[in-house]
Structure 1
Amino acid sequence: MQRIVEWIRQKNPELDQELLPDTDLIEARLISSLDFLEFIYLLEQVSGRPVDLDQVTVDDFRTLALIERGFAPATAA
């Protein structure tokens, strides 16, 4: 998850608060639609498996907790 948090902070340098597991990343506009495909690519790198865009919704990416639950690396399971 550290790489994901670092990516979010890189995209949002003005962010001065801690990212909590239940922070709504979409509502807070921390993942923009312009950066979404780059974010998916990062998730694929971190998890070690492809993200099937036909099987997910934007709600799967709302919080760090949901991202960790759905996309944790296969070795962490």
Structure 2
Amino acid sequence: MERVIAWIHEKNPGLDGTIAPDEDLIEARLIDSLDFLEFIYLLESVSGRTIDLQEVSIDDFCTLDRIRERFLTPAEAQG
């Protein structure tokens, strides 16, 4: 998760402090459409898994909590 948070800070140099785990990253414009594919590649790199865009929704990327649950939790723990 540290790489994800670091990436968000890198893309938002004016962002100070921590990002709340339940903050809507898209609504807060911390992840925008221009950087979205780069963000997907980052999540694939961090998780070691391919993300099939047909099997996800925008809600899966809205908060750090949801990103952790959806992409950074081992597959067997997701049920």
Same-fold call, TM cutoff 0.5 = yes
Q: Which residue of 2 aligns with 1:16?
A: 16
Provide the residue aligned with 1:51 in structure 2. Answer: 51
Q: Which amino acid aligns with 1:8?
A: I
What SS does structure 2 have at the residue aligned with 1:19? coil
Aligned length: 76
Q: Distance in 1 between matches of 2:42 and 2:18?
A: 21
8 Å contact kept, 1:60–1:67: yes
| Matched ranges for 1:1-77 at <5 A | 1-72=1-72, 74=74
Offset of residue 16 of structure 1: 1.2
Counterpart Cα distance in 1 of 2:73 and 2:57: 19
- Deviation string 1:28-72 (CA, Å, 9 cap, x unpaired) is 000010000000000000000000000001110000000000001
Structure-2 separation of matches of 1:67 and 1:23: 12
State the one-letter code of the partner of 2:52.
Answer: D
Q: Alpha carbon RMSD of aligned pairs, Å?
A: 1.4
The percent identity for this pair of structures is 61
Normalising by structure 2, report the TM-score: 0.90
Secondary structure of the structure 1 residue equivalent to 2:10: helix
In the superposition, the TM-score normalised over structure 1's length comes to: 0.93
